């Protein structure tokens, strides 16, 4: 007996009941109450996804491992005390400076369901660990060891910290941490790549820009912004073109915040800032990994782009990019939809291998006072093995000096007319050190064809006497893509300069001291 075989659809049978935890009715971001939207987490739960089999580690100031809403899901293999170099990440209690940040973030991800305590985590059957690495001197080595802790066991690393959001700092990972990110995405999870979820920053009141934070603007991290329950911008939100998605958090005193675990086995409904948004996204991504454990780190970013919705998120800067997706410098591609994410993940086919095309734009010094516009025609490495036909990340690496760095704005415009504000003015940044091979990153051109004319503008928005913005070298990098089917005409690249009195020189900048702040 012979018969032609074909694939057949089968769904697992499961029952789902709404969690009974006492604070669950305050978790407005999980179940819509007064406003039109939520994170659509219940839809993912109803499909049977609760984070089971997925491991998340919170890189922070420690974890109250005995907390009754954490203990059942606590995973010692996903935990370590980097500050004291021992396996126990427990919070070091202090009356003057409570170390509650890590415990709060952990509960957002994986607080136990239906146990009569507090609320419920987004991925309430995921395993949760904590790395105590911020409760002491933070060194490059400590960061690197934290980012690479047990990478064959931990799936997702959630970080709600970075350089202080003062509107004047320019800092990112040092050598060891940079290498740790690369090892993580290359070797973590059996070669699928560790997933690094990062809070975009709380520097809105200081008019900061998260493209000046080398952690959140890394192509290896998934940067998460915040919105309030009303879909408005929180006062702390800072913009940048690196933000990929948004989750809910608190805002001012009249906005509700996030329910989670707190020190001394207590609960709180006051967790806020992008500190709350990053673990919320990490928990949602854990649901997607349960739906499809074979997702690699780039698959996850593709899925997040597709599962984020602009809904009613309020801001002035929504624009439609070259492939028809609305995108914002505050919200990325919008509010992350957990139900949509697991649906897409369950059917997703892995993206093709990473490609990288690098273009040197200028190799000579150019003087700049008021404005510099560079326009060039890009082939995206057509005719080579690195030919890029569909974009993921874009990096513009700049080396320049300027008399007052905070007066500069930098804009990148794609051939499809998508505008990425790589840098906005930062009034508190009075430094004259400029940028030394600093990578400004944008996700706004995701899936666009990069071939054609690109425009890069550097503009002085301050005093007309500002001078010495000296760009020595610009490198433009197109990062990794899945090919698209349309034909791309081959072009010859050439730079065209339109400038007003500018002078450019190479500088070297070494960051010797590192400071981290909670978000």
- Whether 320 is covered by a domain: the verdict is yes
Quote the pLDDT of residue 488.
29
Q: Are residues 333 and 392 in the same domain?
A: no
Q: Choose the final residue of a domain: 347, 382, 410.
A: 347
- Residue 60's SS3 state is strand
Q: Which two tokens stand for residue 162?
A: 């970075």
- Whether 33 is covered by a domain: the verdict is yes
Contact 506, 155 (CB under 8 A): no
Pairing of strands 127-132, 80-81: parallel
Q: Are residues 71 and 126 in the same domain?
A: yes
Q: Which of 355, 382, 418 is nearest to 219 (CA)?
A: 355
Per-residue pLDDT of the chain (519 residues; tens, 9 = 90+): 455 555 555 555 455 788 999 999 999 999 876 666 889 999 999 999 999 999 999 999 999 999 999 999 999 999 999 999 999 999 998 877 779 999 999 999 999 999 999 999 999 999 999 999 999 999 999 999 999 999 999 999 999 999 999 999 999 999 999 999 999 999 999 999 999 999 999 999 999 999 999 999 999 999 999 999 999 999 999 999 999 999 999 987 778 999 999 999 999 999 999 999 999 999 999 999 999 999 999 999 999 999 999 998 999 999 999 999 999 999 999 999 999 999 999 999 999 888 888 877 776 778 877 888 888 888 888 778 878 888 999 999 998 888 999 999 999 999 999 999 999 999 999 999 899 999 999 999 999 999 999 999 999 999 888 876 556 555 565 555 444 332 323 333 322 323 233 333 323 222 222 345 667
Q: Are residues 304 and 420 in the same domain?
A: no
**How many Å apart are CA 374 and CA 19, to the nearest integer?**
56
Q: For 55-91, how does the pLDDT look when each residue is reduced to its tens digit (9 = 90+)?
A: 999 999 999 999 999 999 999 999 999 999 999 999 9
pTM of the model: 0.90
- Whether 121 is covered by a domain: the verdict is yes
Q: Catalytic amino acids?
A: 60, 101, 275
HEC secondary structure over 206-260: HCCCHHHECCCCCCCEEEEEEECCCCCCCCCCCCCCCCCEEEECCCCCCCCCEEE
Q: Which residues span the domain enclosing 327?
A: 24-347
- Whether 514 is covered by a domain: the verdict is no
Q: Are residues 455 and 331 in the same domain?
A: no
Q: Which of 343, 327, 225, 262 is nearest to 63 (CA)?
A: 262
Quote the pLDDT of residue 505.
32
Q: Are residues 228 and 264 in the same domain?
A: yes
- Whether 11 is covered by a domain: the verdict is no
Q: Choose the final residue of a domain: 302, 317, 347.
A: 347
Q: Are residues 49 and 141 in the same domain?
A: yes
Longest dimension (CA), the chain: 88
Q: Choose the final residue of a domain: 347, 371, 392.
A: 347
Q: Are residues 274 and 326 in the same domain?
A: yes
Q: Are residues 326 and 416 in the same domain?
A: no
Q: What is the CATH number of the domain that holds 381?
A: 2.60.120.260
Q: Are residues 299 and 396 in the same domain?
A: no
- Whether 518 is covered by a domain: the verdict is no
Q: Are residues 186 and 58 in the same domain?
A: yes
- Whether 161 is covered by a domain: the verdict is yes
Q: Are residues 308 and 371 in the same domain?
A: no
> Which residues, other chains included, contact 51 with Cβ-Cβ below 8 Å and sequence gap of 6+?
109, 110, 121, 122, 123, 124, 125, 126, 283, 286, 287, 290
Structural domain total, the chain = 2
Q: For 459-487, how does the pLDDT look when each residue is reduced to its tens digit (9 = 90+)?
A: 999 988 887 655 655 556 555 544 433 23
Q: Are residues 244 and 360 in the same domain?
A: no
> Which residues, other chains included, contact 66 with Cβ-Cβ below 8 Å and sequence gap of 6+?
90, 265
- Whether 6 is covered by a domain: the verdict is no
Q: What is the CATH number of the domain that holds 242?
A: 3.40.50.200
Query: How far is the CA of 453 from the CAs of 64, 417, 480, 484, in angstroms?
Result: 53, 9, 19, 19
């Amino acid at each position: 007996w012979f018969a032609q075989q074909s694939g057949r659809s089968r769904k697992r049978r499961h029952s789902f009941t709404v969690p009974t935890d006492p604070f669950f009715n305050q978790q407005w971001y999980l179940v819509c109450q007064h406003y039109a939207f939520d994170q659509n987490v219940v839809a993912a739960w109803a499909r049977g996804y609760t984070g089971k089999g997925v491991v998340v580690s919170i890189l922070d100031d420690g974890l109250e491992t005995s907390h009754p809403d954490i203990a059942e899901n606590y995973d010692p293999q996903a935990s370590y005390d980097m500050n004291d170099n021992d396996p126990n990440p427990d919070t070091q209690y202090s009356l003057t400076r409570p170390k509650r940040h890590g415990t709060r973030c952990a509960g957002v991800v994986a607080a136990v369901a239906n146990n009569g305590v507090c609320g419920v985590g987004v991925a309430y059957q995921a395993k949760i660990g904590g790395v105590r690495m911020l409760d002491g001197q933070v060194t490059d080595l400590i960061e690197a060891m934290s980012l690479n802790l047990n990478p064959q066991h931990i799936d997702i690393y959630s970080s709600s910290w970075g350089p202080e959001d003062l509107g004047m700092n320019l800092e990112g990972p040092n050598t060891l941490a940079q290498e740790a990110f690369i090892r993580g995405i290359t070797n973590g999870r059996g070669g699928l790549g560790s997933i690094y979820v990062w809070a975009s920053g709380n520097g809105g009141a200081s008019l900061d820009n998260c493209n000046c934070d080398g952690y959140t603007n890394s192509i290896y991290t998934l940067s998460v912004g915040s919105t309030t329950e009303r879909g408005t911008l929180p006062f702390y939100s800072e913009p940048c073109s690196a933000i990929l998605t948004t989750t809910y958090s608190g805002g001012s005193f009249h906005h509700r915040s996030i329910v989670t675990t707190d020190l001394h086995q207590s609960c709180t409904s006051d967790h806020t800032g992008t500190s709350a948004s990053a673990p919320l996204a990490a928990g949602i991504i854990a649901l997607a990994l349960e739906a499809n454990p074979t997702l690699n780190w780039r698959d996850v970013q593709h899925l997040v782009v597709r599962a984020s919705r602009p809904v009613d998120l309020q801001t002035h800067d929504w624009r439609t990019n070259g492939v028809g997706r609305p995108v914002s410098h505050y919200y990325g591609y919008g509010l992350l939809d957990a139900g949509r994410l697991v649906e897409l993940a369950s059917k997703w086919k892995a993206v093709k291998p990473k490609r990288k095309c690098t273009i040197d734009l200028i190799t000579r010094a150019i003087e700049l006072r008021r404005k510099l516009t560079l326009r060039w025609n890009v082939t995206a490495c057509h005719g080579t093995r690195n030919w890029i036909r569909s974009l993921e990340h874009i990096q513009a690496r700049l080396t320049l000096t300027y008399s007052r760095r905070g007066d500069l704005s930098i804009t990148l415009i794609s051939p499809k007319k998508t505008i990425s504000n790589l840098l906005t003015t930062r009034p508190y940044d009075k430094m004259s050190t400029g940028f030394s091979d600093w990578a400004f990153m944008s996700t706004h051109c995701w899936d666009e064809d990069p071939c054609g004319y690109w425009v890069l503008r550097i503009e002085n928005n301050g005093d007309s006497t500002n001078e010495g913005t000296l760009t020595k070298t610009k490198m433009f990098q197109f990062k990794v893509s899945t090919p698209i089917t349309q034909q791309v005409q081959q072009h010859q690249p050439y730079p065209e300069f339109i400038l007003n009195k500018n002078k450019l020189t190479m500088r070297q900048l070494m960051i010797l001291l590192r400071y981290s702040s909670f978000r």
